[in-house]
Chain A
Amino acid sequence: MTALYLLDLVLVPAILLAACTAVGTRDRFAAVVSFIVYGLLLAIAWVRLGAVDVALAEAAIGAGLTGVLLLGALARMGRRADEAAAAGPPGRTLRLGAAALGAAVAAGIAAAVLALPEPAPQLSGAVAEALPALGLGNPVTGVLLAFRGYDTLLEAVVLLLALLGIWSLAPDPAWGGLPGLRHRARPEGVLAWLGRLLPPVGIVVGLYVFWVGADRPGGAFQAGTILAAVWILAVMSALVEPPAVRSLALRLALVAGPALFLAVGFAGLGLAGAFLGYPAAAGWAKPLILLVEAGLTLSIAATLALLVAGTPERAAG
């Protein structure tokens, strides 16, 4: 289809322009907005390449979380950043060092891409062959939850470790307390209205994305991100307070997914003869995978929401 190349002709320069602006501009706010636009354009690019699962993740992360995180950080760094700017630009050595390091990383990635054999090695044939045994329709879910289960389990744990890192920045008096500052909003205002209207819709969309993940693009990560985003909206609208990080219910939600995944993994040791294996008997794999996905959706939603909510800053009342 030749018209698709027309789209590429617009999309690719726009992505490059947004990326260069995000890195190159001296206006911090323009840089953040460029980065948000960059994420949106990447989501379109993934759709263009037919990778709808990735596009969904990019859309949810880019539109829902990254923008809120960066703009919130920008608002809070305000005065401190101005003081740093008044101290003068970083020295020549620092700038040259940063440029050299960046160029080295770019060169390394370029070398890796150029070194890929043609045609690229791939396992998609093997995945398509083994997929019917899982009872799933979406090969991406099959790879993430079964064929490449180790990676997904470790990724879920890495997210938890990142959250622990953020919590550990809390000052002693606030340890175990409420993350972030208290948000305010006029109770009958536009913001509070949006905060009441959108989360129910977002919960439905999130559960839908989780449920279709077995057979169509979607899944735990995308669904968890959507749920985290609408919860953060409710927090920003001052409708709910984030829970104290010492809360037992919160901690159970955070570990439910990885714990369930590990339990199913160890069960596989007995039932299928391999850690993270699924029983070969027909009809067992899909319910187990859905169970793990449900736990992961809950845990990823809680983890991402608290990552954005930030370090505990107020002692629990």
Chain B
Amino acid sequence: MSAWDLFTLAAVAAGAFFFLAGTVGLLRFPDVFTRLHALTKADNLGLGLIVLGLLPRAEGVFGALKLVAVWLLALLAAATVAQLVARLARREGDAGA
């Protein structure tokens, strides 16, 4: 197992941990806004770390750029969705547990 493989495993494991943390937050936090916080922070850091870990295994520069593009698009989606869902929840005032 090469040093790159160890790097991959470490980053992927850290990413998987953040996904786990995101789910725990989504299931355990008391209201819409805190759950939204858990979701948008944790799962995108999780995806970012997994993408980082897979970069050494990408097929060439183009493959690596594609992996980064996947992460950037997911970040864009998460940021937009967090804004829209939070505004909706605040307007409707249904942030109860």
Chain B residues with CB below 8 A from A20, complex form: none
Q: Decide if B73 touches A201 in the complex (CB within 8 Å).
A: yes
Q: Decide if B73 touches A194 in the complex (CB within 8 Å).
A: no
Q: Tell me the number of A-to-B contacts counted with CB atoms below 8 Å.
A: 11
**Which residues from 80 to 97 on chain B have a C-beta closer than 8 Å to any C-beta of chain A?**
80, 83-84
Chain A residues with CB below 8 A from B80, complex form: 190-191, 193-194
Q: Give chain B nearest CB distance to A188 CB in angstroms.
A: 13
Chain B residues with CB below 8 A from A194, complex form: 76, 80
Q: Give chain A nearest CB distance to B80 CB in angstroms.
A: 5
The binding surface of chain A is classed by DSSP as helix
Question: What is the interface size of chain B, counting residues whose CB is below 8 A from a CB of the partner?
Answer: 5
The binding surface of chain B is classed by DSSP as helix
Chain A residues with CB below 8 A from B76, complex form: 194, 197-198
Chain A residues with CB below 8 A from B84, complex form: 190-191
How far is it, in angstroms, between the C-alpha of A201 and the C-alpha of B80 when the chains are bound? 16
Q: How large is the interface on A (under 10, 10 to 19, 20 to 34, 35 or more residues)?
A: under 10
How far is it, in angstroms, between the C-alpha of A193 and the C-alpha of B76 when the chains are bound? 11
How far is it, in angstroms, between the C-alpha of A313 and the C-alpha of B36 when the chains are bound? 37
How far is it, in angstroms, between the C-alpha of A198 and the C-alpha of B83 when the chains are bound? 16
Measuring CB to CB, which residues of chain A are less than 8 angstroms from any residue of chain B? 190-191, 193-194, 197-198, 201
Closest 6 CB pairs of A and B: A190-B83, A194-B80, A190-B80, A190-B84, A191-B84, A197-B76
- Would you mind naming 11 contact pairs between A and B with Cβ atoms under 8 Å apart? A190-B80, A190-B83, A190-B84, A191-B80, A191-B84, A193-B80, A194-B76, A194-B80, A197-B76, A198-B76, A201-B73
Measuring CB to CB, which residues of chain B are less than 8 angstroms from any residue of chain A? 73, 76, 80, 83-84
Additional pairs, 8, CB under 8 Å, beyond known A190-B84, A194-B80, A201-B73: A190-B80, A190-B83, A191-B80, A191-B84, A193-B80, A194-B76, A197-B76, A198-B76
